Amino acid sequence: MGSPGPTHNFAAGPATMPPEVLERARASLVDWRGLGHSLLEAPFTCDEFRALMDTTRNQIRTALALPDHYHILFFQGGASAQFSLIPLNLLPPHATAGYVETGHWSARAIEEGQRYGPALVVASSRDTGFDRIPPVSQWTLTEKIRYCHITPNETANGVQFQSDPDCGSIPLVADMTSEFLSRPIDFQHYGMIYAGTQKNLGPTGLVIAIIRDDLLGNARPETPTVFNYQLQLEQHNRINTPLMFAIYLTHLMLDWLETQGGVKAVHIRNRSQSQSVYRVIDEDDFYRCPAISEHRSIMNVCFGIKDAHLTQRFLAEASASGLANLAGHSHSGGLRASLYNAQPDLAVTALTSFMDDFRRRYG
Amino acid sequence: MGSPGPTHNFAAGPATMPPEVLERARASLVDWRGLGHSLLEAPFTCDEFRALMDTTRNQIRTALALPDHYHILFFQGGASAQFSLIPLNLLPPHATAGYVETGHWSARAIEEGQRYGPALVVASSRDTGFDRIPPVSQWTLTEKIRYCHITPNETANGVQFQSDPDCGSIPLVADMTSEFLSRPIDFQHYGMIYAGTQKNLGPTGLVIAIIRDDLLGNARPETPTVFNYQLQLEQHNRINTPLMFAIYLTHLMLDWLETQGGVKAVHIRNRSQSQSVYRVIDEDDFYRCPAISEHRSIMNVCFGIKDAHLTQRFLAEASASGLANLAGHSHSGGLRASLYNAQPDLAVTALTSFMDDFRRRYG
């Protein structure tokens, strides 16, 4: 068999990155900013790295038009660590946190959150197989809830909030890992937004946390100092050595985002790309999509083949055609095409052509 | 002024890395293991990355001749996070942990540790300016101590344990961040060893934790799941997305360590390099070393100039001569040359020549 041609990577995160970002990342492993050595060998206390942290925070603030009373912090441990660190920092002992359950990742947040106090599931789509987002009008919000946790995009089951929900005076805390910087955000509803960077920004382990001023300063005594939001803010996020290379990659991705026209422009492209895949799925009943059409994710198109026996064949032939990482999440099975900001249109066209062709041959 | 020639980097960590490791790291940002995309774009669930984690653990086990009843785990948050996570995982509420205070970093561990229970300082060299290691015969070890925490090498004040201390049945817990893999270890005395990788291995944020079997399974209920030693072990260290690039760099450094002859060989080189710098310092009283000669670090040579006014001039002229990052720790001041495994002999020769020359001109 000959060369399969270029590989298109549909992984759910870590995911495909722009070639120009990877090229700059490689260059940083030779000589970074004229220091005479690579970024990996630079002290985090050097002026150049201090400036990089400031620049990266400013880029995030500008890209999202973030109001001044929100702080941007970098943490380690990925979004999963935040499932514990959020109640440790924001929830007094015995106080109640609200959770909206919309799929695998919100369920993980609930499972961990309830170890730190009452976790009230104010809405869930479990009964319908996590195929939709429960409308905010039906959430059982009560005054005792300190904050309401949501997962606006669910990577494993492919549903997504279509707008920023309004919970009145209850601040939203949102795990935006898989949609961060893919769309504009209406911040007035949010107390905290956090995102692991391994989807739209690239590196694993890094978390960007955006926290409203008034929520800070309530950490429980057992909160590890390096994960204390207020203390890291006071000490300029430098209590411990930061994830230097990951922050640099994030900076490069934010540079690239600017060249693409910012979050509004990539949001249009993300919608358009996902629609072209959903269009192929909806054409007849060969493919199927578990999510209802109104709440489908524009980041992770989760789908299946009606004849489930064809799934492995689909994956094998796709792989042979240079379409990689199309298997669904291990908890959901089926197929999944992740279309984060850096997914090129060319990859999406290659995928839809392959899907059409596969149906023609096996339908 | 002309080109200063090659830069020699004496940073205390992140620190200099071998050119061949950086070259392999760059290559991984093009196409990693034939996947058709870079390592940064690979799912952590792929076979290639699972294999990498196993390989890296095996390399550590082999390099240190680690007995089977010790487990190797990767964590995020750096060694500073472990200052909290160790008591959360190993110390029952109200139980007492022992600490040996030998400088800036052991003091940081104590400060954080005492937030989780009684932290008994069993020995300290604070009264003599952290210029030595208190001998184990003088430690006030009592039966109530669950474990005794030590910092075998102190980067800020340049003292180092000269052997693995024997505390009888009390397990040692050692922050080996700045000496990990620089020497053989006599494991019989240790309950746990942990190391941030940004010194001898390169990447920031990653922690390698080596934990004796019998210490596991005692985590407090408030321990975040992703930082629970026992649960991460049970789930093959895959509860959350690992620091993939950092683990890969660690693997590359372990490959390189093998080519250097392993920890015994680099230990000889490390000793020899540090001795050649100490020899220049000890020649007369122009330079001075705060650590007593018996307990000096072979990793971080901390020194000063008798006439402290010359310190800034030394740093400026060194930098102009291509000798970078020789400033002491911000808490100690003075000068510091870090000589981790990857420091080439050439850099040390350049440093000692410069020091000789500087003395000749200003002494």
Reply yes or no on whether the pLDDT at A195 is more than 60: yes
Residue A41's pLDDT is what?
96
Q: Which residues of A touch B227 (CB under 8 A)?
A: 77, 81, 84
| pLDDT tens per residue, range A286-336 | 999 999 999 999 999 999 999 999 999 999 999 999 999 999 998 888 999
On the question of pLDDT at B4 being above 80, the answer is no
Q: Which of A5-9, A12-16, A22-26, A271-275 has the lowest mean pLDDT?
A: A5-9
| Spatial distance between the Cα atoms of A63 and A181, rounded to a whole number of angstroms | 8
Q: Chain B residues with CB inside 8 Å of A13's CB?
A: 43, 241
Identify the band that residue A1 occupies on the pLDDT scale cut at 50, 70 and 90: very low
Residues of chain B above pLDDT 90, percent: 96
Where b means 16+ CB within 10 Å and e means fewer, A286-310 reads: bbebbbeeebbbbbbbbbbbeeeeb
Contacts of A344 (CB under 8 A, 6+ apart): A8, A16
Cis peptide preceding B14, ω within 30 of 0 = yes
Q: What residues of chain A lie within 8 A of the CB of B79, using their CB?
A: 240
Does the pTM surpass 0.90? The reply is yes
Per the listing, tokens 């490959």 go with B255
Please state, for a pLDDT cut of 90, what percent of chain A lies above it.
96
d(CA B10, CA A363): 65
* CA-closest candidate to residue A183, choices A253, A126, A243, A268: A268
How many Å lie between the alpha carbon of B204 and the closest alpha carbon of chain A?
A: 6
**DSSP character string of A290-328:** SS-GGGB-SSEEEEEESSGGGHHHHHHHHHHTTEE--BP
pLDDT at B18: 97
Q: Which residues of B282-298 are buried (b: 16+ CB within 10 A; e: fewer)?
A: eeeebbebbbeeebbbb
Task: Tell me which residue in B37, B204, B242 faces A243 most closely, judged by beta carbons.
Answer: B204
Query: Could you tell me which of A45, A351, A152 has the C-alpha nearest to residue B328?
Result: A45
A161: left (phi over 0), alpha (psi -120 to 50) or beta: beta
Instruction: Report the residue from A14, A225, A241 with minimal CB separation from B44.
Output: A14
* Per-residue model confidence as pLDDT tens digits over B194-237: 999 999 998 999 999 999 999 999 999 999 999 999 999 999 99
> Which H helix or E strand runs over A285?
none
Flag whether pLDDT at B1 surpasses 70: no
pLDDT at residue A333 in the model: 87
- Please tell me the predicted confidence (pLDDT) of residue A142: 93
What b/e string do you get for B299-335 counting C-beta neighbours within 10 Å, with b at 16 or more? Answer: bbbbbbbeeeebbeebbebbbebbbbbbbbbeebebb
**pLDDT (average), residues A14-19:** 96
Alpha helix stretches (DSSP H) within chain A: 19-28, 47-64, 78-90, 104-113, 229-234, 244-259, 262-282, 311-320, 345-362
**Optimal mutation site among B17, B20, B39, B222, interface A, most CBs of chain A within 10 A:** B222
Residue type, B303: F
Q: Is the pLDDT of residue A4 over 70?
A: no
pLDDT single digits (tens) B43-69: 999 999 999 999 999 999 999 999 999
Q: What is the DSSP letter of A83?
A: H
B45/A246 touch (CB, cutoff 8 Å), yes or no? no
Handedness of CA A249, A252, A258, A260 (dihedral sign): negative
**Cβ separation of B205 and A35 shorter than 8 Å?**
no
- From the list A86, A76, A91, the residue with the least C-alpha distance to A106 is A86
Interface test with B, best of A46, A114, A226, A236 (most B CBs within 10 A): A226
In tens, the pLDDT along B117-159 reads 999 999 999 999 999 999 999 999 999 999 999 999 999 999 9
Mutate to test the interface with B, among A245, A321, A323, A343 (most CBs of B within 10 A): A245
How many angstroms separate the CA atoms of B195 and A359, rounded? 53
Mean pLDDT over B288-315 rounds to: 97
Nearest to B77 among A77, A115, A246 (CB): A77
pLDDT digits (tens, 9 = 90+) for B13-52: 999 999 999 999 999 999 999 999 999 999 999 999 999 9
Cα-Cα end-to-end distance for chain A:
25
Does B362 have pLDDT greater than 60? yes
So what's the pLDDT on residue B5? 63
Q: Dihedral sign for Cα B43, B44, B45, B46, please.
A: positive
Task: Return the closest-CA partner of residue A78 out of B25, B198, B202, B74.
Answer: B74
Provide CATH 3.90.1150.10 ranges for chain B. Answer: 262-362
Residue B259's pLDDT band, with cuts at 50, 70 and 90, is: very high
Q: Which residues pair with A71 in a beta bridge?
A: A211
With contacts defined as CB-CB under 8 Å, which chain A residues touch B88? 222, 224
The SS3 of residue B161 is coil
| ipTM for the whole complex | 0.97
In whole angstroms, what separates CA B17 from the centre of its chain?
A: 14
Catalytic (active-site) positions of B? 105, 175, 199
Which residue in A16, A25, A224 is closest to B81 by CB distance?
Answer: A224
A203–B40: do the CB atoms touch at under 8 Å? yes
Q: How does the average pLDDT of chain B come out, rounded?
A: 96
Task: Judge: A40–B239 Cβ closer than 8 Å, yes or no.
Answer: no
Supply the residues of A annotated as catalytic: 105, 175, 199
- C-beta atoms of B202 and A40 within 8 A: yes
Distances in Å between the Cα of A217 and the Cα atoms of A79, A114, A141, A220, A228 are 21, 21, 24, 9, 9
CATH classification for the domain delimited by B23-259, as one of 3.40.640.10, 3.40.50.300, 1.10.760.10, 3.40.190.10: 3.40.640.10
> Distance between CA B109 and CA B100 in Å, rounded?
10
Instruction: Enumerate the residues of chain B whose CB falls inside 8 A of the CB of residue A41.
Output: 9, 11, 14-17
Q: Where are the domain boundaries for CATH 3.40.640.10 in chain B?
A: 23-259
- What residue of A is the nearest CA neighbor of B13? A43
| Closest to B291 measured CA to CA, from B352, B332, B350, B325 | B332
Q: Tokens for B37, please give them.
A: 């995309």
Strands B323-324 and B8-9: parallel
Q: Which of B16, B48, B76 to mutate to test the interface with A (most CBs of A within 10 A)?
A: B76
Long-range (24+ apart) CB contacts under 8 A made by A53-60 are A53/A237, A53/A242, A53/A247, A55/A251, A56/A247, A56/A250, A56/A251, A56/A254, A59/A251, A59/A254, A59/A255, A59/A258, A60/A181, A60/A208, A60/A210, A60/A254
Q: Which residues pair with B98 in a beta bridge?
A: B120, B148
- C-alpha–C-alpha distance, residues B97 and B175, integer Å: 14
Asked whether residue B331 carries a pLDDT value surpassing 90, the answer given is no
Alpha-carbon torsion A130, A136, A141, A145, what sign? positive
Nearest to B29 among A22, A44, A244 (CB): A22
Please check whether residue A226 is in contact with residue A240, taking contact to mean a CB–CB distance below 8 angstroms: yes
- How far is B160 from B271, CA to CA, in rounded Å? 12
**A17 contacts B205? CB cut-off 8 A:** no
For chain B, percent of residues with pLDDT exceeding 70:
99
What confidence tens digit (pLDDT) does each residue in A65-102 have?
Answer: 999 999 999 999 999 999 999 999 999 999 999 999 99
Contact A36 B88 (CB under 8 A): no
Lowest pLDDT segment from B87-96, B264-273, B328-337: B328-337
Name the fold adopted by A262-362: Aspartate Aminotransferase, domain 1 (3.90.1150)
Task: Return d(Cα B92, Cα B206) in angstroms, integer.
Answer: 26
Task: Answer for the pair B314, B335: CB distance below 8 angstroms, yes or no.
Answer: yes
Whether A81 and B76 lie within 8 Å, measured CB to CB: yes
CB contact under 8 A, B40 and A22: yes
Do residues B166 and B38 make contact, with C-beta atoms less than 8 angstroms apart?
no
* Orientation of helix B78-90 relative to helix B104-113, angle to 10°: 40
Distance from CA of A344 to the nearest CA of B (A): 14
As a whole number of angstroms, the distance between CA A313 and CA A290 comes to: 20
The secondary structure element, H or E, covering residue A238 is: none
pLDDT of residue A5: 63
Cis-peptide into A14, omega within 30 deg: yes
Chain pair A-B, CB pairs under 8 angstroms = 202
